[in-house]
Amino acid sequence: MDTENKKKTPKGANYLGLTFQMGAFIFLATYGGLWLDKKTGTGHTFVILLSLLSIVFSMYYIIRKETSKKK
C-alpha cells in the first residue's frame, strides 16, 4: 500500500539537481582559483586550471552517474 502512495520524481528534477551540483562545483573551484591566485601572486593560472579541472570532473561525474542508472 505504501508503494501506491509514493510519487515518482520527474526526470527533469534529477537533471536539475545535477545542473545545480555542477554549477556549484565549478563556481567553488573558480572562486578557489581566484583566492589561490591572489595568495600566490600568479596571473590567472589557478583560475584557468581549476575551472577546467572542475568542468572535466563534473562531466565525468554526470556521465558515470547516468550510465550506472541504465544498467
Contact 62, 48 (CB under 8 A): no
Q: What is the pTM of this model?
A: 0.74
How far, in whole angstroms, is CA 45 from its chain's centroid?
21
Residue 69 lies in a domain: yes
Does residue 39 sit within a domain? yes
Q: What pLDDT score does 4 carry?
A: 57
Residue 58 lies in a domain: yes
Q: How confident is the model at residue 14 (pLDDT cuts 50, 70, 90)?
A: confident
Q: Are 50 and 33 in contact (CB under 8 A)?
A: yes
Q: Which is more confidently placed, 12 or 64?
A: 64
Decide if 14 is inside a domain: no
Q: How many Å apart are CA 46 and CA 67, to the nearest integer?
A: 31
Number of domains in the chain: 1
Tell me if 2 is assigned to some domain: no
Task: Give the per-residue pLDDT at 2.
Answer: 54
Count CA within 13 A, CB hemisphere, residue 41.
0
| 43 found inside a domain | yes
Give me the domain span that covers residue 41.
25-71
More confident residue, 3 or 26: 26
Spatial separation of the C-alpha atoms in residues 33 and 31, rounded to whole Å: 5
pLDDT at 5: 57
Is there a domain that residue 67 lies in? Answer: yes
